[in-house]
Structure 1
Amino acid sequence: MKTPETIEFATAVRTPGRKTASELRLQKSVPAVLYGPGIENNVHFAVSEIQLEKVLASKDAKFIQLNLDGGKHAKAIVRTVEYDPITDRPVHVDFYALSDKVKLTITVPIRLTGTSVGVTEGGRLYQPLRELTIRCTPGKIPAEFMVDITKLKIGATLKVNSLKTEDIDVITPGERTIVVIRPPKGGIGGLGEDEEGEEGEEGAEEGAAEGSETSSKEGDSESTEN
């Protein structure tokens, strides 16, 4: 699995305060704060709104290298973003500092790989789950979680607890269904009540996934200190 790309962010020193934050937004800058392992006091600064939105639009997990005042640097991830309820522009962003030895919780997109036997035979692919929450050290974080569906036949269901992970703790419940290969329309149903019930709960997502063999979903990165 590929590792997350590292993006450099230039920063501008700022003094916390409502007036200063408003002025920054007029300049297309977003107030930000950095905290986490190794950060004794929260660091306040501002980043480019355009650059931030490019990172937020990406479907893969990203590492951020913050170039801070005084020639200091910090490697981090975007933890939370606050948006304006009217304009939907980012108005504040929290960065969480990374430490090589400290585990964190993060959500990464799931990408399906391969062409399943069932789809080749006319089955229909549904993907109720498009992201996975994991806990590991920064060096083990994948940009996306690859799931091979080549061997899935019509009626087959792949759940989270069937994934093979190394040095990664999966936080997403093991009974969650990642992908289902349903029979062709008009064919004989081959799913049990468990799979059909879960699909119903995720109906909005499944409809968007029909007919697609590879997919991924953007999600907000979330982490907690060990």
Structure 2
Amino acid sequence: MSDNKSLKAELRTEDFGSAGARRLLRAKRIPAVIYGKNAPVHIILDSREFTNKMRHFSETALLKITVGKKQYECLMKDYQENLMIGEIKHVDFFEVTRGQALRTLVSLILKGNPVGTKEGGVLDQVMHEVEIECLPKDLPAALEADVSAMKINQSLHLKDVVIPAGVKVLDDLSKTVASVKGVKAETAAVVEEVVEAVAPAEPTKDAKAKK
């Protein structure tokens, strides 16, 4: 596993609560927790190490967290950040178990330049994430959908996406991932929406009676 996907942590056994968290943050350390099938493990991360490495993390990146002599394989599920000062305040990790299937969301990435866009069409990505189930060792960073052959007014569905071995898609395979729309059709739809928005309301029965 890449060093960018590894973290060292200390076990947090005392000084819990908001006051304790503030003391850790002032000391350039981050309170965190590892959830899983067992009891939560409260840990402390080095702020500098985590901040430098977190750009390599994603919801599907398997991370190795070393706490003393024990190691945990985890996914980073959430983090809290003070946007005003760019400070990470807390991190949640989910421990995965080798040999046990997990469910998670992965990104859908479109690859290629559709034929239809060269003919004046516009590529529209409808789905950006898909729910999958697989073993930790088979977890892909993302699913890629090749849209190169798409023409105007054609759609690519989830069933058309090449799924890696060992990965099961849990979403409806008939869902549209992307489509190429003609510019004229797109413009007509926008104009219709604008006309509907500014059209005068149908007079009510009372208003008609007053006339």
TM over 0.5: yes
Q: Superposition pairs for residues 39-188 of structure 1, below 5 Å?
A: 40-53=38-51, 56-58=54-56, 60=58, 61-69=60-68, 71-84=69-82, 89-165=87-163, 166-183=165-182, 185-186=183-184
Distance 1:59 1:122 in 2: 37
Distance 2:150 2:54 in 1: 33
Q: CA deviation at 1:87?
A: 5.8
Q: CA deviation at 1:59?
A: 7.4
1:13 equivalenced with 2:11 (yes/no): yes
Whichever structure has more strand as a proportion of its residues is 2
Judge conservation of contact 2:145–2:162 (CA < 8 Å) in 1.
Answer: no
Q: CA RMSD in A?
A: 3.0
How many residue pairs align between the two structures?
A: 184
Partner amino acid, structure 1, of 2:118: T
Judge conservation of contact 1:12–1:47 (CA < 8 Å) in 2.
Answer: yes
Judge conservation of contact 2:82–2:89 (CA < 8 Å) in 1.
Answer: yes
Cα offsets for 1:97-124 (capped at 9, x unmatched): 1222111112222221122211222221
Quick one: structure 1 residues 137 and 113, their matched pair in 2 at CA, closer, same or farther if it must change by over 3 Å? Answer: same
Judge conservation of contact 2:4–2:56 (CA < 8 Å) in 1.
Answer: no
Whichever structure has more helix as a proportion of its residues is 2
Q: CA deviation at 1:33?
A: 1.4
Distance 2:2 2:158 in 1: 22
Judge conservation of contact 1:59–1:109 (CA < 8 Å) in 2.
Answer: no
Distance 1:116 1:178 in 2: 14
Distance 2:53 2:156 in 1: 30
Distance 1:143 1:106 in 2: 11
Q: Which has the larger radius of gyration?
A: 2
Higher deviation after alignment, 145-154 or 160-169 = 160-169
Name the structure 2 match of 1:32.
32
Q: CA deviation at 1:29?
A: 2.1
Judge conservation of contact 2:144–2:161 (CA < 8 Å) in 1.
Answer: no
TM-score (norm 1): 0.69
Distance 1:32 1:114 in 2: 40
Relative contact order, CA 8 A, sep 6+: which one is greater? 1
Distance 2:178 2:3 in 1: 27
Q: CA deviation at 1:4?
A: 9.4
